[in-house]
Copies of this chain bind each other. A is one copy, B any other.
Amino acid sequence: MSIHYKKTSEHKVLRDPVHGYINVEDAVIWELIDSKEFQRLRRIHQLGGTFQVYHTAEHSRFGHSLGVYEVARLMIENVKGLKIALSETERVAVLCAALLHDVGHGPFSHSFESVTSVNHEAYTDKIILESSSEIHQILHRADGNLPQMVADIISHRHKRELLTQIISSQLDADRMDYLLRDSYFTGVSYGEFDLFRILRTLRVVDDELVVKESGIHAVEDYIMARYQMYWQVYLHPTSRAYESILHMIFKRLKDVAFEKPEILNMLPLFKNLLLNDEVSVEDHFYLDETTCMYGFMMLMNSEDEVLRDLTTRLVNRDLFKYQDVESEAMIESISTEVESKGYNPRYYVVMDYMTQILYKPYDEHEGPKPIRVLKNQELVELSSASQIVKGFVLQEDKEDFKVFYPE
């Protein structure tokens, strides 16, 4: 028996500079957008510290989440054979999953997660599954099976991989939105690729999304866009300099939480989190960048010298400088120098190793599936159909190892 899902009273649109409009016709999507847990995403930057180098990168995970929903919707509408391959429940569940995939994100995600043992994926799961959240209630009201189904799609637990593939794979709605969106809001052109060309050349074969041979060039362009965005934007040393200070603030806060908990008296939320390592879904709602930034601004007058100095640097953009790491001796020499200036290297020498793999042609047990191409009626892995991608795969992975420390 198929469930009938309510439609919105009229076709709703939200103006969006990246996709023109976000189109909504399912009532459950409209209600989810209005939920407090989804509105919370307005208080988390999409790109962490990137706005320190590209000053207009101030966009939030709220807009990105709407964008992933819209790309998933466009896929279902435009990829030949996809709409018909999905039941009505699956269609709605995939759209909800696209919208909600980032809902558990904490502030400044990577730096923040490093001090707690619970990652954002786990919170996403909890927010969708625990009955106290508005999101859970909205999903449950629409269809009692929806919360579990949506959570399963997001967390790669759903048995039909096609559903997950739409929102999380090497060619998915998530990446397709963020490349275009981050490109738009930073003002670089590197992330642009031809979304509609890709949608027009995707097909469903053996319950898997694959690319027709005529779409290879568009996919090559998309992979090049990812590569360029990684090195020009996501891994830019200036935002890593900002994030390295963030990281050190959280590290110091954690040390302090046990040693001198009174320092956190004015920041009850932080105190609670740092001492307990995990927070409830209710408290998670308050864990956003507003709370963190306010906390940092208060700590600019803290009695703890390290916190006082690091938060002042962060708020006023007095960032660490950086160098490529060439040897262990170099690190030691920097540590000595930093210490001689009165800084504790535990908080003032930050090592940061980055590598990014453009595209993986094989199917790791936990990793993303390779992109497959329909060539002369057979499915072949992308790098055997594209010389450009083969070139990418043959290279050594590009690496970047830097050390950050105060001037």
**Bound CA span A184–B56, Å:** 11
User: Counting CB contacts under 8 A, is A384 at the interface?
Assistant: no
Residues of chain B within 8 A (CB-CB) of A232 are 217
Q: Is A194 an interface residue (CB 8 A)?
A: yes
Contact of A220 among B16, B228, B315 (CB under 8 A): B228
Contacting residues, chain B, for A341 (C-beta < 8 A): none
Which of B21, B43, B224, B395 meets A196, CB within 8 Å? B21
Measured between beta carbons, the chain B residues less than 8 angstroms from A396 are: 387
The answer, yes or no, to whether A102 is at the interface (CB within 8 Å) is: no
A217 and B228 contact, CB distance less than 8 A: yes
A189 within 8 A of B: yes
Hey, which chain B residues are within 8 Å of A36, CB to CB? 315-316
Nearest CB on B from A312, distance (A): 9
| A62 interface hit (Cβ, 8 Å) | yes
| Cβ of A356 to closest chain B Cβ, rounded Å | 11
- Docked complex: A168-202 residues within 8 A CB-CB of B: 184-190, 192-194, 196, 200
Is the beta-carbon distance between A286 and B297 smaller than 8 angstroms?
yes
Chain B residues contacting A187 (CB-CB under 8 Å) are 15-18, 20
Q: A217-B231, A228-B217, A228-B221 are in contact. Are A186 and B17 (CB under 8 A)?
A: yes
Given contacts A290-B290, A297-B290, contact A15 B387 (CB under 8 A): no
Q: Is B189 a contact of A192 with CB atoms below 8 Å?
A: yes
Q: Report the minimal beta-carbon distance from A15 to chain B, rounded to whole angstroms.
A: 5
| CB <8 Å contact, A190 and B194 | yes
A297: B residues at CB distance < 8 A: 286, 290-291
Contact: A388 with B56, CB < 8 Å? no
**Is A58 within 8 A of B55, CB to CB?**
no
The reply to whether A190 and B56 form a contact with Cβ atoms under 8 Å apart is no
- Name the B residues within 8 Å of A193 (CB-CB): 189
A39-B315, A196-B20, A317-B39 given as contacts; is B59 within 8 A of A56 (CB)? yes
A196 to B187, CA, bound (A): 13
Question: With A and B bound together, what is the CA distance between A51 and B42 in angstroms?
Answer: 9
Check A63 for interface membership: any CB of B closer than 8 A: yes
CB–CB A190/B390 < 8 A: no
Interface status of A293 (Cβ within 8 A of chain B) = yes
When C-beta atoms are compared, the residue in chain B nearest to A293 turns out to be: B290
- Name which residue of chain B comes closest to A187, CB basis: B17
Which residue in chain B gives the minimum CB-CB distance to A266? B266
Pairs of residues from A and B, 7 with the lowest C-beta to C-beta distance, nearest first: A391-B391, A17-B187, A294-B294, A36-B316, A290-B293, A387-B395, A15-B187
Instruction: Pick 22 A–B contacts, CB within 8 A, sort by A.
Output: A15-B188, A16-B55, A16-B187, A17-B185, A21-B196, A36-B316, A39-B316, A39-B317, A42-B58, A55-B62, A55-B63, A56-B63, A58-B63, A189-B194, A190-B221, A217-B228, A227-B388, A290-B297, A291-B297, A387-B398, A388-B391, A391-B395
